Structure 1
Amino acid sequence: MVPRRIICCTDFSYNSEPARELAVDYAKAFGARLTLVHVIDSSLFPTYVDWLGDEIDQILARTKEAAETKLQEIANKCGDLSDIKTCCEIGSPAEKIVGVANDEAADLIVVGTHGHTGVKHLVMGSIARSVLRTAHRPVLIVEASPLG
């Protein structure tokens, strides 16, 4: 299988850089379209706080705008890649990543992991693990270096 549509997930951390670099290399090698995806985890925002009203929506909108800007900056640094797009979503990271992959008919999902073990792995590796478990397409999990 030669991937023609690649999804690469980023959380903007140092740990997601190896995954992005590999996804860019694959996209160049195979002439594939690359979609960079960032998901703002809605569970981190207190939806139960009624007294904030529309302020939560405004915070989410500003956060999404900043994330879209950051995604575009990353896309601009991808060199001579001719077919690249960005996508920023709000919601459950694993669900949204798989949803974008389905919408884009992706041939490959590339996601980074922090490479932790034990208790840290339960938290840090949960998104990559959930994507691997729920995506009905190939998933490449790229471990960050121990220095990351």
Structure 2
Amino acid sequence: MADNKQCDTRSSGRGPILVAVDFSAHSEAALMLASELADGLGVRLVVLHVVHDPLNMPGYYARMARKKTLTRMEDIAGEMLDAFVAEAKKKHPQRQALQKPELLLVKGIPVTRIVQVAQKQKASMLVMGSKGITGLRHLLLGSVAEQVVSLARLPVTIVKDLPKS
């Protein structure tokens, strides 16, 4: 007779799903997909926002930035992250992974910090939104999502927009 016990993937050692957000509609879509995947796989959901440290930027921001300014930016970003996830919980109460995600707020250069956090968390997958910028601006700067895809050593899923209801 076959054993009908279900496999609990939470104890399988599989890493969490990491979703990097910037509070845009694309990030909301990425959060929804990441929470669905985390629920389906039975793994933790880690929601990351990177505060772009103005001290790492050349020119005006480097001269004008002070520790107090950066601290205030982090406080505001933390409030925005809490509100962003709270709104998602409210819209999708059936998503178990959204009920108690791990929220991470770090400062630095987004591409670098996203890849570092994914490694530190031993994430099994990274999900992030992308605006899909094209043309000259994209050729000169590249997108954060594209740079992360090229540097990451784990599966990366890029979400372009919210699914149609």
Q: TM-score range by the shorter chain?
A: 0.7 to 0.9
If each structure's strand is expressed as a fraction of its own residues, which one has the higher value?
Answer: 1
**Pairing 1:34–2:58 present:** no
Please identify runs of 4+ aligned residues in structure 1 that moved more than 4 A. none
Larger radius of gyration: 2
The one of 9, 12, 21 equivalent to 2:20 is: 9
Go from structure 1 to structure 2 and tell me whether the alpha carbon gap of 1:124 and 1:35 turns closer, same or farther (over 3 Å shift).
farther
CA distances 1:16-37 after superposition (whole Å, capped 9, x unpaired): 2111111111111111111111
Q: Is 2:64 aligned against 1:19?
A: no
1:56 to 54, 66, 72: 66
2:85 is equivalent to residue 99 of structure 1: no
Amino acid at match of 2:69: I
- TM-score using structure 2 length: 0.74
Output the CA distance in 2 between the equivalents of 1:83 and 1:104.
16
For the residue of structure 2 that corresponds to 1:35, the secondary structure is strand
Aligned 8 A contact 1:8 1:111 in 2: yes
Residues 129-148 of structure 1: pairs in structure 2 closer than 5 A: 129-144=146-161
Identity of aligned residues (%): 30
Distance in structure 2 (CA, Å) of the matches to 1:123 and 1:60: 27
Residue by residue, what CA displacement relative to the aligned partner does 1:7-65 show, whole Å, maximum 9, x if unpaired? 10111122221111111111111111111111112238712x1xx5xx62111111111
**Equivalences, count:** 139
Give the unaligned 5+ runs of structure 1. none
TM-score normalised by structure 1 residue count: 0.82
What is the alpha-carbon root mean square deviation over aligned residues?
2.3
1: CA distance, partners of 2:135 / 2:158: 18
Residues 111/125 of structure 1: CA separation in 2 closer, same or farther (3 Å cut) = farther
Question: Is the CA contact 1:113–1:124 (under 8 Å) kept in the aligned structure 2?
Answer: no
